[in-house]
A and B are shown apart, each in its own frame.
Chain A
Amino acid sequence: MSNRTRSDFGSQDLTELRRKLAGSSGPQYWRSLEELAGTEEFERYLHREFPEQASEWHDPVGRRQFLQLMGASLALAGVSGCVVRPEDKLVPYVKAPEQIVPGKPLFYASTAVHEGYGTGILVESHLGRPTKVEGNPTHPASLGASDLFTQASILNLYDPDRSQAVTYNGRVSSWDAFLNAMIELRTAQLASKGAGVRFLSGTVTSPTVVRLMDQVLGPKFFPQARWHQYEPVGHANRREGVRLATGVDAEAVHHIDQADVVVSLDADFLGWGPAKLVNARQLTARREPGPDNKSPIRLYVVEPSPTITGATADHRWPLSTEEIQSLAATLARAVGVNGLPAAADELKAPWVATLVADLQKSKGKSLVIAGETQAPAVHALAHAINAALGNVGHTVTYHEPVAASAPAGQSGSIADLADDIRAGRVETLFILGTNPVYDAPIELGFAPSGSDSTELLLKVRTVVHLGLYNDETGQVSTWHIPEAHFLESWGDARAFDGTASIMQPLISPLYSGRTAAELLSVVVDGSPLPSRSLVEATWRANQSDADFSAFWSKTLHDGVVAGSAAKPKDVSVKSLADLAWPKVGTGKYEILFRPDPTIWDGSFSNNGWLQELPKPMTRVVWDNPALISKKTADNEGVKDGDVIKLTMGGRILKVPVWINPGHAEDAITLTLGYGRNEEAGYHGRVGAGAGFNTYSLRSLNDFWAGRGVLVEKTGETYPLYSTQGHNTMVGRDLIRTATHTDYAHNPHIGPAGHAPAGHEAAVGNEHDAAASPHDQSEETGIVAHGANPPKNLIGFEYPEPMQRRNDGFGNRWGMSINLNACIGCAACVVACQAENNIPVVGKDQVGRGREMHWLRIDRYYATASRDAEPSANPATHFQPVPCMHCETAPCEMVCPVEATSHSAEGLNEMTYNRCVGTRYCSNNCPYKVRRFNFFQYSDQLTESLKLQRNPDVSVRTRGVMEKCTYCVQRLTKARIEAQIKSPDGFEFVSGDSVATACQQACPTRAIVFGNMNDPKSAVAKAKVDPRNYSLLAELNTRPRTTYLAKLTNPNTAIEA
């Protein structure tokens, strides 16, 4: 029944119905009250074949007519097929665009922005579309490396769910309409000197935005407006710590390469912060044995929640946030910092004295770093300790601040903004690229919550939101403007040390996005200037046209503004007696908020690569479970995937748990960035529905850590998927480690087979400890893969062409992965995914064991002593596993159609076209590095994603096996170039003139690759390193990928 009849019935008289019922006898059967009433409409309805709105075809179509129509249709279809199309001619460019050769990519220097800071990048561009981001070697924050976010940013650029249109109150509008509205608004606000105007941005280091902001807040425009900054994962404590310690605003820069002893107070300096790539490079350089590294670095880490920095440490202890505060105070007292706050406790632990002794032994060559998650007071103590140890000027230097804070008196926190909005003082709010409705502290009311159901932003008359996504904030804003991605905009940013670099667009904005500078230019200039002229105007300064032109092209080419690093600043640590010492909360459990290792604060939640990237420590994908220790789990009677209910300050979050070995007891880590969904206004198809919104518990007071959380077991379970189900090596000799002392005694630790200390791992390895590699080779027939490969191997399957290569002719590809340098950051995994068109399969498919990563990072735990609870504080080891390119590859002989075969240069090649998908090769691969397309995983329909793909790599279809190729497309390119350069067409790729994608991304240069036939190449040198060993060498697979054993530098005075 349609609504119409339903409403007609409403007019029926009930007495009429009763009358009809009364007048009949026997049971009456009726279908509806309309029938019962016998209305005319119902009678009509009954006799109609079709519903009333449906039209009826009254013309009778006879057989003849039908044939006529069909015939005519066919004839017409034929006619239209024969239309003479306008003649198209394929002609070459009369004037070819500069430098463009189809098939040859171009690289442009630009800048990626993460956490507000810039990192130099080189972007690969194929015929005008950027496909891959690499680090810029000349940029001080990159040094040629990149992190996983930079690598994955290319996918964000092509994200089909990005905001594509200006909206006004949720309806599609236009940029012109917005400009008209802005002109009115500007005029109105100019009169009131901008008293009702507020700006909200994240951390800003862009000189152009700062310049425009200064103008906007200057006397000419809106002197009474205020600029607020808020980052859900920012650097406020770090900055405040320096201010507390020194009284001035300054940027502390750490020089880990100058340090012999580093103590991290919950500082994840390898995975967080604008200098993480540099830190990683410097730290691993000091861990490598060698003549120029007489005293290898020793790293102590205390942290509640395991991080890759803790995994890299020589000593790591899980401590609660309060214990870390106490440790800071204890260390400060011990090294003689004067005037400590009285409230600070001592930490009593057996190793503290040894730690202090180690620090004091290395005065001027030690470094204490406090993490952002620690209170500013702890940072202040860290600075004081460094000063007391004479480290300032050596391992830590102070510079002019890099990130902009709005001019004095105008800076304000997001809490002030919330107060202003509540008090009705805000008429117009510009939100520049942030998403407060999702990620602001929950008690401020930006998000609708139980107590206050109106969202705060609805109280502001005009909210202008600039964002990559029309997200939770965009949905409740008056105007939403699509933001240009950094790969499609002009801009600039500063690195951790203040070095500026220019952002240049690689493609014109896909969705007409605008930059923050353009938006501010509306206020300053009345109508927006192009962003390029805005950036140029910043850097032109007083240069003449000619000077500027030269400067500009050099800067763009190099990707760095020469000499722009922040100036050193003389600071001195003042007395800390009146330091406000953080109060210790009450409550059994400590709750910790941490950025998610892969999707960060949520800004990457619609990035499939990062969603599917296993979290470095837990290997969990697509979710953010609450991390707890084994003991805590036992106490609460929960196991992986059991849902617990957390109640904190009246707010409730249900979240599944995941047991994380090495986690502090009685602490719960929640990572940010998940739990976004349609109802909240989030429209990302990838990220919607994944994980749990931990922001819903996060308040200003408990920003990083807090107590007073109530934990209840719910009895529910939730599917959590990890890509690694087994965490120990079950006594197998997979990752070999030794201490620097052992190494000095006998450097041949690789083939000798040291397994990491641990009762499981130690089984059966004792006799190997003294064996030299020579002994090993006699026993097993395996010879180290050095410059002299063995000849005439029994069972060697490709004797002729391979033998020529083995004799030194041409290229013999090989890879070496230095486990000593690997920090498990996973940049290589994302780089591989970007380079090789590797599809994303989704949570369900990962749960079925079908992730597609060609390169994975295995993470194993080892426990030092038999007595300890194995998961309390295990050593963590990472091992990147790409295809081994075995010389006697087990996969090759079992393929019935020879779809996987061996190249003369030693590559184990996969011919997708020939593959029929029996999967025997994968079954027979001892390293399980092969990946199978169980379904059509590659998205072949979404247009924007097609642009991202690397044109040099096939996009695989359903039913085909794939695996690491050593980036064969890069090798081919290098070979061709070598051939062109060589006078006799000799295809010898010398030295290190080729790099795989994983190698190029690696911040610590753990991966080296090249032609082993060139004795000068890094890989040839690595292969003769005494630490070199093959994984599962006893299988005689003769892998071309080998590993360098890991070295640790434990303090022998500390027991385990």
Chain B
Amino acid sequence: MAQVVSTHGHSHEGNGHSHSEILGGHQSYTTVTDTISDVVLKRPLGKAWLFGFAIAFALLMMFLFAITNLLVRGIGIWGVNIPVGWGFDIVNFVWWIGIGHAGTLISAILLLLKQDWRTSINRFAEAMTLFAVACAGLYPLMHMGRPWLFYWLAPMPNTMALWPQFRSPLVFDVFAVSTYATVSLLFWYVGLIPDLATLRDRATNPIVKKLYAIPALGWRGSAIHWHRYRTAYLLLAGIATPLVVSVHTIVALDFTTGIIPGWHTTVFPPYFVAGAIFSGFAMVATLAIPLRSYFGLKDYITDKHLDNMAKVMLVTGLIVTYGYMIEGFMAWYGANTYERYQMLVDRPFGAYKHDWWLLILCNCVMTQLLWFKSIRNNVILLWLISIVINVGMWLERYVIVVLSLHSDFLPSSWGMYHGTVWDYMTFYGSIGLFMTLMFLFVRVLPAISIAEMRELVHELHERDEAKTHATPPAARTV
């Protein structure tokens, strides 16, 4: 395993982190492998894990109950109405999809940009992406009046020669989300193969060994394997990169193609993407902070990681704030009666003003705290801010979906929307689904990539040596 072939070892001189910043303690290949694989193979089921899993699973059961009731009775159990035809369903869809963005960004774009600090968080960020996309993908299905006909949105040859309507952004959505889910899954799985092999090799229980052996696809760690693995991984990263931008752009088109004041605006695609990364990183921080503490992985997910994530949140938070400002400015500058009313009267001073001001507080004001290094380095504060951002981003989608619809063109048809108990059950239930999957994931798969961490150990070691011997870094290309 020592013969790791690095493709990017040579480029770390400029932005390379010191050993202690992104990898704590004195790590060797053995300690890395032991620490990470022991979480899965050796560590007994802890009470805290069981407790957390029980709560998550209970929420999941509530989710099933809510969906069953939905299918039996119809979407009338939700608060949606005319004029507000979309409510929690689409809010949650966009929220989950947004959260899903961090994984791909970390895995693909940061990989291509050779940011080695991504290594310790990419695995569970990718897992989080997959689970968030799974949660997101359920909502468009559930929100349909006749969900059993969902397949009509897919282009299938049929005797009636009926196709979906390709002008509708909802059809783009089907493609965008399903592509995103597929690529994310592949990317995650390909990255897992060497680790699955490690787990297979280290497992003592023959059944567990077998279970890891099957998905490990006969990985033996030969140079040829590594070579092909690298190529595939990079190709997938290349494919995934545009998806980071495209998926949320298309989700933004769901709104911008509409003519509703508050939806019909060109700023949406970029600011949706920024918002997605914003919320995605917030969710990664929300999960990483307790995870590293509980499983003793502080050496792998270091304060430097958290600091970097906080910086990303700060930047994307500022982009989002800029988006809000532009929305308001364009409504004023465009002199469109309906948009002015929606943006400058209804949102800040209308029936939902509390939601709007809370959104500004969460996403614009609280984010400014991240300018301060002391706050970025305060784990508890950072964790709380990341949760506030998650709430804020949920509110943002609520404001966009509900407030725009509730007062559009004709005052006679203005109406109010409030989520019902079933809306909340479905929302919290989907969090239960997400948490259940996360809990299972950290128990059965390595939450941090063992192979990549070993590579990192190797690289950092090389780098340290290069510094010590004052020799130029070896050009160790393949």
Check B195 for interface membership: any CB of A closer than 8 A.
Answer: no
- A724 with B412: in contact, given A850-B81, A915-B145 (CB under 8 Å)? yes
- A726 with B85: in contact, given A894-B258, A916-B150, A935-B74 (CB under 8 Å)? no
- A sample of 10 more A-B contacts (CB under 8 A), given A915-B146, A924-B259, A959-B146, is A849-B415, A850-B81, A894-B170, A894-B257, A897-B165, A926-B260, A958-B145, A959-B74, A959-B75, A959-B145
The one of B76, B165, B259, B414 that contacts A926, using a Cβ cutoff of 8 Å: B259
Show 25 residue pairs from A and B whose CB-CB distance is below 8 angstroms, ordered by the A residue: A726-B411, A730-B341, A764-B337, A850-B82, A858-B410, A858-B412, A881-B412, A893-B165, A893-B168, A894-B170, A896-B170, A897-B152, A914-B162, A915-B145, A916-B144, A916-B145, A917-B145, A918-B170, A919-B85, A922-B82, A924-B258, A928-B83, A928-B413, A935-B74, A958-B74
Q: Which residues of A contact B84 (CB under 8 A)?
A: 849
Could you tell me the distance in whole angstroms from the C-beta of B43 to the nearest C-beta in chain A?
46
Number of A-B contacts (CB under 8 A): 168
A917 and B410 within 8 A (CB): no
Among residues of A, the one whose C-beta sits closest to the C-beta of B408 is A926
- A931 with B143: in contact, given A916-B152, A926-B409 (CB under 8 Å)? no
A890 and B82 within 8 A (CB): no
- Please indicate which of the listed interface residues A848, A879, A893, A896 has the most CB atoms of chain B within 10 Å of its own CB: A896
Check B457 for interface membership: any CB of A closer than 8 A.
Answer: no
Check A609 for interface membership: any CB of B closer than 8 A.
Answer: no
Q: Which residues of B contact A959 (CB under 8 A)?
A: 74-75, 144-146
The one of A848, A894, A919, A931 that contacts B169, using a Cβ cutoff of 8 Å: A894
- Please indicate which of the listed interface residues A732, A845, A932, A934 has the most CB atoms of chain B within 10 Å of its own CB: A934
Q: Which residues of B contact A239 (CB under 8 A)?
A: none
Task: Give A858 to B254 CA distance when docked, in angstroms.
Answer: 29
Chain B: interface residue count, which band?
Answer: 35 or more
The one of A726, A728, A920 that contacts B170, using a Cβ cutoff of 8 Å: A920
Interface string of B136-147 (1 = CB under 8 A from A): 000000011111
Q: Which residues of A contact B79 (CB under 8 A)?
A: 848
Check B332 for interface membership: any CB of A closer than 8 A.
Answer: no
A919 and B165 within 8 A (CB): no
A934 and B74 within 8 A (CB): yes
Among residues of A, the one whose C-beta sits closest to the C-beta of B351 is A725
Among residues of B, the one whose C-beta sits closest to the C-beta of A898 is B165
The one of B145, B168, B408 that contacts A928, using a Cβ cutoff of 8 Å: B408
A928 and B410 within 8 A (CB): yes
Q: Which residues of B contact A918 (CB under 8 A)?
A: 143-145, 170
- In B329-384, the 8 Å CB interface with A consists of 337-338, 341
- Please indicate which of the listed interface residues B79, B80, B147, B254 has the most CB atoms of chain A within 10 Å of its own CB: B80
Among residues of A, the one whose C-beta sits closest to the C-beta of B152 is A897
Among residues of B, the one whose C-beta sits closest to the C-beta of A897 is B152
> Measuring CB to CB, which residues of chain B are less than 8 angstroms from any residue of chain A?
73-76, 79-86, 143-147, 149-150, 152-153, 162-165, 167-171, 174, 254, 257-260, 337-338, 341, 405, 407-417
6 closest Cβ pairs, A-B complex:
A917-B145, A959-B145, A849-B81, A934-B76, A919-B85, A858-B412
Task: Give A1035 to B260 CA distance when docked, in angstroms.
Answer: 10
Q: Which residues of A contact B417 (CB under 8 A)?
A: 849
- A934 with B152: in contact, given A858-B412, A893-B167, A894-B258 (CB under 8 Å)? no
- A729 with B74: in contact, given A920-B170, A934-B80 (CB under 8 Å)? no
Check A859 for interface membership: any CB of B closer than 8 A.
Answer: yes
A731 and B85 within 8 A (CB): no
Number of A residues with CB within 8 Å of any CB on chain B: 55
B259 and A896 within 8 A (CB): no
Check A46 for interface membership: any CB of B closer than 8 A.
Answer: no
Mostly, the B contact residues are loop
Check A961 for interface membership: any CB of B closer than 8 A.
Answer: yes
A729 and B171 within 8 A (CB): no
Among residues of B, the one whose C-beta sits closest to the C-beta of A848 is B81
Task: Give A918 to B93 CA distance when docked, in angstroms.
Answer: 13
Among residues of A, the one whose C-beta sits closest to the C-beta of B418 is A848
The one of A849, A850, A896, A960 that contacts B146, using a Cβ cutoff of 8 Å: A960
A731 and B83 within 8 A (CB): no
A917 and B146 within 8 A (CB): yes
- In A710-739, the 8 Å CB interface with B consists of 724-732, 734
Interface string of A850-874 (1 = CB under 8 A from B): 1000001011100000000000000
Q: Which residues of A contact B416 (CB under 8 A)?
A: 725, 849
Task: Give A1035 to B259 CA distance when docked, in angstroms.
Answer: 8
Could you tell me the distance in whole angstroms from the C-beta of B452 to the nearest C-beta in chain A?
40
Could you tell me the distance in whole angstroms from the C-beta of B86 to the nearest C-beta in chain A?
6
Q: Which residues of A contact B254 (CB under 8 A)?
A: 920
Task: Give A879 to B412 CA distance when docked, in angstroms.
Answer: 10
Q: Which residues of B contact A730 (CB under 8 A)?
A: 341, 411
The one of B73, B168, B414 that contacts A935, using a Cβ cutoff of 8 Å: B73
- Please indicate which of the listed interface residues B80, B145, B171 has the most CB atoms of chain A within 10 Å of its own CB: B145
Could you tell me the distance in whole angstroms from the C-beta of A729 to the nearest C-beta in chain B?
6
- In A879-900, the 8 Å CB interface with B consists of 879, 881, 890, 893-898
Check A986 for interface membership: any CB of B closer than 8 A.
Answer: no
The one of A850, A879, A890, A919 that contacts B86, using a Cβ cutoff of 8 Å: A919
- In A824-863, the 8 Å CB interface with B consists of 845, 848-850, 856, 858-860
Could you tell me the distance in whole angstroms from the C-beta of B416 to the nearest C-beta in chain A?
7
- Please indicate which of the listed interface residues B79, B143, B337, B416 has the most CB atoms of chain A within 10 Å of its own CB: B337
- In A331-350, the 8 Å CB interface with B consists of none
Task: Give A898 to B163 CA distance when docked, in angstroms.
Answer: 8
B259 and A917 within 8 A (CB): no
Interface string of A929-943 (1 = CB under 8 A from B): 011111110000000
Task: Give A860 to B411 CA distance when docked, in angstroms.
Answer: 9
Q: Which residues of B contact A858 (CB under 8 A)?
A: 410, 412-413
